[in-house]
Amino acid sequence: MSADVPPTPITDHRLPITLSFLARCYELARRGEGAVEPNPMVGAIVVQDGLVVGEGWHRKFGGPHAEVHALAHAGEAARGGTLYVSLEPCCHHGKTPPCTEAILAAGITRVVCGMRDPFPAVDGGGIAQLRAAGITCDVADDPAARELMAPYLKLLTTKRPWVIAKWAMSRDGRMANPPGESPWITGAVARAHAHVQRGKLDAIIIGAGTLASDDPLLTARPPGVRTPLRVVVASNRELPTDRRLFQTIADAPVLVAAPQEFPADCRSRLSALGAEFFTTSATARTAVLPELLTELGRRRMTNVLIEGGPRLLGDAFAQSLVDEVQVYISPRVIGGVAARAPVTDLAQLQLQSVADEQLADDHFVRGRLPNSQLPR
């Protein structure tokens, strides 16, 4: 459905209040991160006489949408009120009934959306349906809404997931401590934070070098709302089958992205352990990632993490495949020419929408690349 419904930007004295209420919607929406994908994160509030009388967010894929939760919370207080919602209400039967029906039944008289939903079954249809029923419906076309929806919008429009590049490093930009010291650069608080982030992802991608040298598990500990697919990008060489990744497939799935030239006997051994294979048509190492991301998008994965090493991250940045960067920075200075830098052949990064969070002695910095594939 694509309805010819022009947005009605809110430019009068109500704008600051509107954006304040929408900001609360975005805050609520993020509570569903990791639990609702490939659906968008959505938050909603019901306002009566300037007071919030109901709040809700989309809590689980396949479950009631944010509007339904907010209206239920408000009860009879919703009648005659205004519904603020981060995304245009749906107007189609999917896993749940249309939210527009719930809005009409609740007696809402005005709806304010953060942005229009480009999903083909909605795409202005929800707004048109509400207006046809006599409800005032305004679209803020808020950049903050688009930023919140970025992973959803990218998957919807490019058929590829939102790609996050992540690493931990010392203050002087090194990824490893000297031999004989602790393998951890950051402290316990930062590592616990990283596990929480892992538990919201669809997939975590590493290269063969990281598999061999670090022997990572790539699981969220404790488990999060999602169990990410663990992905190894392989070359035409064998992978060590004794790695913990392959010994724990019963706990979390493993996908090996490999070219046709990958050794058949190693493929058989890993398949016997339960590993899944995605065979790429690529012969050049740098061509594997784009094919892999297309495959993960076909599986409707929304957020994927590339966790190294330096060469794989370098390939991703060189091909403009990265949308967001997450970096854990330790106050330590390691030094030494032998210590690895996080990304191969990367001179500098210019980030946007940067956030910096203190995690005990460490810092967590996240930001988006200017070339991130966020539709306009």
Q: Work out the widest C-alpha separation in the chain, in whole angstroms.
A: 71
- Phi first, then psi, for residue 137 (nearest 5°) are -130, 115
Q: Helices H, strands E: what count in the chain?
A: 12, 14
| Residue 332 to residues 140, 176, 195, 207, 326, Cα–Cα distance (Å) | 45, 11, 21, 26, 18
In 3D space, the residue among 354, 358, 362, 365 whose CA is nearest the CA of residue 170 turns out to be: 362
Contact 231, 255 (CB under 8 A): yes
How many residues can be counted in the chain? 376
Q: Which of 37, 67, 307, 324 is catalytic?
A: 67
Distance CA 144, CA 223 (A): 30
Distance CA 28, CA 66 (A): 9
Residue 307 designated active-site: no
Residues 6+ apart with CB under 8 A from 358: 364
Alpha carbon 127 to its chain's center:
26
Residues 6+ apart with CB under 8 A from 242: none
Distance CA 46, CA 186 (A): 42
Residues marked active site are found at 67
